[in-house]
Structure formats: C-alpha cells, structure tokens
Amino acid sequence: MSEADPGSRIEGIRQLGNVVRAMTGIAGARARTARAQIAAVEGYADTLGDALAQAMAGLAGDAPPAPGRPAVVVFCAEQGFVGGFSERVLEAVEADRAGGDLFLIGSRGAAIAAGRGLVPVWSAAMPARSASLPQFADQVLAAVFAQGDLRPVSVVHTVWARGQGRVERLALFPLVAASDAPERAAPLANLPAADLATSLSLDRLHALMTRAALRAFVAENEARMAAMAAASRQIDEELAVLEALARRMRQEAITSEIIEIAAGAMAGR
C-alpha cells in the first residue's frame, strides 16, 4: 500500500459519512412532520367515529356487511436503505392473506414482492412528502372501489414504536361497532339513516387510510434513520482504523528518512 492510499480512502469515507448524515437528517425531519400530522388525522377520525355512532343509532339493525371481494392495502418501502422493512411486511401478508385483492404501495416493496411471486392488482409509489398523503389516500380508495361496489378494506403497514417496527393488520371497512358502546338516541337528519351512515363510514375510511399512510411513512423514515445510524457507526470504525494506519505509515516514513540521513552522515565521516 502506498502512502497516498490511506489518505484518499479517508477522504472518500468522510464524504460518505457526510452523505449518511444528510440522509439521516432528511429522514428525521420527515418523520417528525408526519408524526405531528398523525395527531390531527386521529382527532378528525375520532370525530367522524362519534358522528357515525350517532347515525347508526337511527338504523333498525347493524349496518349491512360489504359484499364485495376484500381489498388488502399493503404499505411497503418506497426507497432503499431501510433494512428488511418491506420483507417483514410482505411476510405478514403471505402468512395472513385470507384471500382478497392486493393493493401495494411503495416502489421498493413492489420490486421485492415481484421476486416473491406476489402480484398486486394495483400498485403506486409512496409520495415523498407527508402533506401529499391525504390526496394520495383518495387515489388509493378510488382504485379500491374502482368497480363501483363497496368491499371490505384492510391495511397492512408498519408502526414504529420504542425504536423498532411492528407490522399490523387493521380492518378499516366496514366499521364494526364496539360491543360495549353506549346506546345513543337517533339524531335528527335530512338524509335516510342508511345513506348517512354509509357517507360517514366512507369519510372515516378516508381518514383511517390517511392515518395508515402517515404511520407507514413515519416507520419507513425511522427505519432509514436506524440503518443510517448503523452505517455511521461502521464508517466511524473504518475511519479510525484508516487514520491509525495513516499515522503509522507517516511515522514509518519519517523513521526511514531519519535512518537515511544518519547513514549518509556516518558515511561522510
């Protein structure tokens, strides 16, 4: 190894470290923004849930079940550097598919799903900005209900908590009323009770789909931060080794020069 080799490698690794830190900062900012938006969406969904409970009090019985083929919306990773993020989600889908059409979100996840033999009926890229997710939820639901009939809808996505991801599957539609919910008086309404309940159910479905997208968005960016943290530690370790090697090579070069100068001086005498 020449004396220039460690120096050039050190510079290259330092530049890589700068890239890793930049990616970590971007992922952290995106995750923080999306977490704040989740709280607002959950408040909206809770309000719709209360209104729906009141509307269903005007029905003679429970809301009729959605008769169509079930739809499973799966949120995977849009980009790389997230470890086994998409693989864990797809493993959960394979373990508990329970039939139904697969709607897959995330370009990186779609490529991995193709390698596993999972073919979605529809797929799309995850938006890069969390502010675009409410509109994106509209696009997802438009694809789910493209045939015009209502159908059961569930989502599979990752929730990030306590430094690790957990894959969850949630049924979003139709709404299953809690068995311990208090009885409510039927509200005064201009619409038929069934139409009002259906309309509120679809509005709440949009809110819950937006929440699922935000949670998946947060989880992907948190997973990227964890992967970048591991890469940063590896870079620091490699940099320390190379810097120690460079110091040793400089010391050896200085020692060799001193020996040559001393030998020349002895020969001159």
CB 50 within 8 A of CB 200: no
**pLDDT of amino acid 258:** 82
**pLDDT of amino acid 176:** 61
**pLDDT of amino acid 266:** 75
β partners of residue 105: 75, 124
β partners of residue 154: 72, 171
Write down the mean pLDDT value for the chain: 86
Q: How far apart are CA 260 and CA 256, in angstroms?
A: 6
**pLDDT of amino acid 257:** 83
* pLDDT tens track for 62-75: 555 567 889 999 99
Segments of the chain scoring below 70 in pLDDT:
1-5, 58-66, 97-98, 176-193, 268-269
**pLDDT of amino acid 61:** 54
**pLDDT of amino acid 179:** 45
The one-character DSSP state at 149 is S
Q: Where are the domains of the chain?
A: 20-176+192-226
pTM for this predicted structure = 0.82
What is 20-176+192-226's CATH number, 3.40.50.720, 3.90.1300.10, 2.40.40.20, 3.40.1380.10?
A: 3.40.1380.10
